[in-house]
């Protein structure tokens, strides 16, 4: 693997993933967002809406400090007439929120990270990785659908791959040594050609 693969995934890494996604989505803002997002059945617009909700939810989870269950709040969704530009704006807003919550939480803070397959709490650094993982994969999905290049740096992907390894049910059967390709295949997505 590349150098940097033994370092933890950080808030700065999450912010780098958010910047990469925002830049890529902005490049495709004039494209047709009604097309499928990569190999998903959701459209690019629906996938973007989903990832905005996820990043928002992680900020809510960590800020709540709940450790027994998710906070008793519903999902965040765009209004029916939301545009691709609105999705970029929404992603920027929730990434800023999650970054602020992580930055201001004491390092020993714990909050619910997952309920399944078992209830698991995490630290602010874990929330940076959880947000980064969801965002990097769905940014890829949207960019694949839009035909926009999205190729995150290997060292960033290596830190994310390492930090999230224990959360995955299975590792890729045939690791390539390319952390980005391994992140994709571990999530059930095909390797780029």
pLDDT exceeds cutoff 70 at 79: yes
DSSP 114: E
**For 162-175, how does the pLDDT look when each residue is reduced to its tens digit (9 = 90+)?**
999 888 766 555 77
**For 125-161, how does the pLDDT look when each residue is reduced to its tens digit (9 = 90+)?**
999 999 999 999 999 999 999 999 999 999 999 999 9
154 phi, psi to nearest 5 deg: -60, -40
Kindly state whether residue 5 falls inside one of the protein's structural domains: no
Q: How many helices (H) and strands (E) does the chain have?
A: 6, 2
Kindly state whether residue 18 falls inside one of the protein's structural domains: yes
Residue 111: helix, strand or coil by DSSP?
A: strand
Q: Determine how many CB atoms are found less than 10 A away from the CB of residue 55.
A: 29
Confidence (pTM) = 0.92
Split into its structural domains, the chain has a count of 1
Residue 28: helix, strand or coil by DSSP?
A: coil
Kindly state whether residue 163 falls inside one of the protein's structural domains: yes
Mean pLDDT of the chain: 92
Mean pLDDT (whole number) for 43-53? 98
Domain extent at residue 124: 11-186
Kindly state whether residue 136 falls inside one of the protein's structural domains: yes
Nearest to 47 by CA among 137, 138, 179: 138
Mean pLDDT (whole number) for 168-189? 80
């Amino acid at each position: 693997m590349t150098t940097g693969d033994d370092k933890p995934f950080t808030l700065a890494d999450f912010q780098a993933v958010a910047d990469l996604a925002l830049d890529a989505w902005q490049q495709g803002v004039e494209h047709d967002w009604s097309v499928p997002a990569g190999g998903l059945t959701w459209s690019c617009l629906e996938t973007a809406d989903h990832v905005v909700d996820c990043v928002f939810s992680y900020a809510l989870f960590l800020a709540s400090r709940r450790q027994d269950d998710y906070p008793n709040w519903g999902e965040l969704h765009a209004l029916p007439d939301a545009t691709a530009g609105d999705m970029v704006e929404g992603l920027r807003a929730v990434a800023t929120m999650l970054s602020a919550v992580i930055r201001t939480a004491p390092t020993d803070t714990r909050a619910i990270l997952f309920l399944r397959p078992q209830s698991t709490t995490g630290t602010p650094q874990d929330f940076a990785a959880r947000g980064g993982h969801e965002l990097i994969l769905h940014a890829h999905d949207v960019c694949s659908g839009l035909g926009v290049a999205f190729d995150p740096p290997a060292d960033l992907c290596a830190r994310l791959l390492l930090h999230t390894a224990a959360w995955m049910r299975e590792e890729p059967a045939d690791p390539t040594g390319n952390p980005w390709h391994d992140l994709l295949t571990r999530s059930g997505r095909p390797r780029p050609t």
